Amino acid sequence: MQKIHFFLILSFLSGTAFNACAKEKEPARPAPVLKFSVPSNGDSGASVSSSIVFTFDEVISLTSEARVTVNQLPVEATTQLTELTLKLALEPETHYSVHIPKSAIQNTFDVLLEEDIRVEFTTQKSGEVAFDKNFYIFVCFGQSNMEGQGAIEALDRLVDDRFQVLQALDCDNLEATKGQWRTAVPPLCQCYSGLSPADYFGRTLVENLPDSITIGVINVAVGGCDIRLFDKDQYAAYDSTYTDPWFTEKIQAYGGNPYEHLMQLAKQAQERGVIKGILLHQGETNTGDTQWPEYVKKVYMDMLNDLSLEAEKTPLLAGETVNADQGEVCCASMNAIIATLPEVIPGAQVISSAGCTAQDNAHFDAEGYRKLGRRYAEAMLPLLQK
């Protein structure tokens, strides 16, 4: 059952600010932004669960007098940091009026809104979302470092709406559904994964590209996997590299075939935008295997063929494992093999991990992932301008 999502961004004419009762007024602050998604199962008469999210420029909370309504009916409202979320069931082709009383929201200094927030919108008819040539999509895959093992901190949860992720799995804890585009608040790979190179790759592109460009990522990765788990002709021989649940359950979550799972998502993404590149972080499990570049080439060529892509327009970026400059690490010797990838795949680029800090002998820490992700983006930016 395919789910389609509509995104709307509205600004408020009245510049919302906070007011400390009738005394001194706080300096005017930017108006909040309304964004909402409407999943659809193709039945224009079916209601669907959705959320309306208001994002403010500072941390907010609900007051004891909070009573938020949609079409004059009270709805459940929750806050987390700078976001106010309203949960409700939306009908396609229906008009909605949202009312947030000024007495409902306060900041950390108990300062209330100056005026009520009122927003009206009409949901669209169920159907396909328009293709956008300015929606740049990147396919990400690999093992645990691409999954993301970094601790997700408060600064990592503040994400521009122009950076989107196509949800790879159903995750109740994230209130996210497989096949749904959402703002790329981590985790981007699995329900309980951490910060990954994809996070700051996307953020850095958004910061350096025109406002007309939206960035999307798809991330399917399996910690501990051999690169051949992503070989569509050999994957079955590598789905039990480890027999522990932490490994086998991840593969089961991807329907037993991570490559096919990734391709299905990528084909869905092509209905919305253009795949501009492929990001890989893998190699720890294949340390010492000089055939690794050939294995990667096989997977890369399969992806290009299955997605009808051209190598010249879809570069492959591969990151190094944790660098030897981090002390006693497991797999730094693999970087010499990774360095030969451009000899096997013309146009491929290797992303240095030098100076990217680690939390153990195999995984980067949060700051290491941020630095590595920015480097992926710095390598991609000039390629997008060709």
Does residue 204 surpass a pLDDT of 80?
yes
The pTM of the whole model exceeds 0.85: no
* Amino acid at the residue 44: S
Catalytic residue among 40, 50, 144, 196: 144
Q: What is residue 24's predicted lDDT score, i.e. its pLDDT?
A: 40
Q: What is residue 17's predicted lDDT score, i.e. its pLDDT?
A: 44
Tens digit of pLDDT for each residue in 74-132? Answer: 888 888 888 888 887 777 778 888 888 888 888 877 777 778 888 887 776 655 567 99
- CATH 2.60.40 fits domain 18-122: yes
Write the CB contacts of 126 (distance below 8 Å, at least 6 apart in sequence).
Answer: 4, 40, 41, 42, 43, 44, 92
* Amino acid at the residue 120: E
Dihedral of the alpha carbons of 20, 23, 26, 32, in degrees to the nearest 10: 50
Q: What is residue 13's predicted lDDT score, i.e. its pLDDT?
A: 29
Catalytic residue among 43, 170, 325, 360: 360
How would DSSP label each residue in 47-65?
-EEEEEEEE-SS-EEE-TT
Is 144 an annotated catalytic residue? yes
What's domain 135-384's superfamily in CATH? SGNH hydrolase (3.40.50.1110)
* Amino acid at the residue 103: S
Does residue 73 surpass a pLDDT of 90?
no
Tens digit of pLDDT for each residue in 317-353? Answer: 999 999 999 999 999 999 999 999 999 999 999 999 9
The rounded mean pLDDT for the chain is 86
255, 288, 316, 324, 331 from 354: Cα distances, Å:
36, 19, 20, 8, 13
Expressed in angstroms, the distance from the first to the final Cα of the chain is 38
Q: What are the sequence ranges of the domains in the chain?
A: 18-122, 135-384
Region 177-186: what's the mean pLDDT? Answer: 96
Q: Alpha-carbon distance 57 to 371, whole Å?
A: 26
Q: Alpha-carbon distance 15 to 9, whole Å?
A: 15
Q: Confidence class of residue 39 from pLDDT cuts 50, 70 and 90?
A: very low
Catalytic residue among 5, 261, 281, 363: 363
Which DSSP category does 176 fall into? B
Does residue 37 surpass a pLDDT of 80?
no
Alpha-helical runs (H) found in 230-323: 245-253, 258-269, 292-306
Is 231 an annotated catalytic residue? no
Give yes or no for a contact between 112 and 19, defined as CB atoms under 8 angstroms apart.
yes
* Amino acid at the residue 169: L
| Side-chain half-sphere CA neighbours of 380 within 13 A | 34
